[in-house]
Amino acid sequence: MVATTDGAVRTIRIDRPRAGNALTLATKDLLLGELQRAAADPAVRAVVLTGTGRAFCAGQDLREHAALLAAGDPRVSSTVRDFYNAAILTITGMRKPVVAVVNGVTAGAGLGFACACDLRVAGRSATFTAAFAGVALAADSGVSFLLPRLVGSGRASRMLLLGERWDADQALAAGLVDAVVDDADLADEGRRLATRLAEGPTEAFAWIKASLHHAASTDLASALSFEEAAQGALFRGEDHRDAVAAFLAKQRPTYRGR
């Protein structure tokens, strides 16, 4: 795992390129730790999640998984709760935007990580597959919840049941990613996007993110109440007051993230 900070942008890069950035217990520990640190650090105002080399993340490391299964190791099942669930909730609950910079193949839990991020930009060589059914599993890492919300339930069923592997253009057409750029431009595009987000109204972004997640599984009345609470909190914020004043003075606002 490699974590670097550039201004208010923290980049977390899964770094096992020879295994498609597949996740072992040790990698999962490091990844969850980095996600939690980024979430807790007030100096970090946007996060990039990406991978080293030709893969974003191929999901669970199947070599380690096979060894744990053979040994009857209980971590085979506890890892879903202790790592996959915890990591997805950390990304979605983080009060700052997370950008998936999808630099290559994305499979299984890796797809879940990409779906959990707030924005997804892919390199032209990226591919996307649920992969779970290929190893006779269902879905985890939030894929059953998050994927249909991005691509619709019909396409999600095709991915999960038929094991379809989409290229970047198919992912873009389906709404799984927001943008596709040449591989050579991907890192710059990810940095540009994350920097723009890091310079934005972080507290408002936190509420936007929370509102979208809340509204994804509630009714209109509850969504309206949540919006009311969000705006109520933000009306009292420094960024809101300054941004309104800047608008009236015909100036560009500077957001402090408060």
Piece of 100-108, 114-122, 185-193, 250-258 that binds ligand T3D (CB under 6 A): 100-108
What DSSP character marks residue 250?
Answer: T
Interface with ligand T3D, residue 108, by CB under 6 A: yes
Tell me: does residue 25 bind ligand T3D (CB under 6 A): no
**What are the C-alpha distances in Å from 32 to residues 55, 156, 173?**
19, 26, 31
Shortest reach from residue 21's CB to ligand T3D, in Å: 8
Helix extents (H) in the chain: 25-40, 62-70, 75-79, 86-93, 109-116, 143-151, 153-162, 168-174, 183-198, 202-215, 220-235, 238-248
Candidates 77-85, 87-95, 231-239, 245-253; binding stretch for ligand T3D (CB under 6 A): 77-85
- Least spacing, CB of residue 115 vs ligand T3D, in Å: 13
Q: Whole-number minimum distance, CB 54 to ligand T3D, in Å?
A: 7
Which residues, 139 to 178, sit near ligand T3D by CB under 6 A? 140
CB of 224 to ligand T3D, least distance (A): 37
The distance of closest approach from Cβ of residue 112 to ligand T3D in the complex, given in angstroms and rounded to an integer, is 8
Is 19 one of the binding residues for ligand T3D (CB under 6 A)?
yes
| Part in contact with ligand T3D (CB under 6 A); list of ranges 94-102, 126-134, 214-222, 232-240 | 126-134
The first and second tokens of residue 203, run together, are 């507290």
Check residue 42 for interaction with ligand T3D (CB under 6 A).
no
Chosen residue from 27, 50, 103, 129 binding ligand T3D by CB under 6 A: 129
DSSP string, 139-203: --TTHHHHHHHHH-HHHHHHHHHH--EEEHHHHHHHTS-SEEE-HHHHHHHHHHHHHHHHTS-HH
List the one residue out of 241, 181, 233 whose CA is nearest residue 207.
Answer: 233
Residue 131 DSSP code? -
What does the alpha-carbon distance between residue 113 and residue 95 come to, in Å, rounded to a whole number?
A: 17
Contact 240, 219 (CB under 8 A): no
Nearer to ligand T3D, 125 or 211 (CB): 125
Q: Which long-range contacts (CB under 8 A, 24 or more apart) does 63-71 make?
A: 63/19, 63/22, 64/24, 64/25
Range in contact with ligand T3D (rule: CB under 6 A) among 125-133, 142-150, 193-201, 213-221:
125-133
Q: Which of residues 191-250 bind ligand T3D (CB under 6 A)?
A: none
- Using CB under 6 A as the criterion, which residues of the chain lie in contact with ligand T3D when the complex forms? 19-20, 22, 58-63, 65, 76-77, 79-80, 105, 107-109, 129, 131-132, 134-135, 137, 140
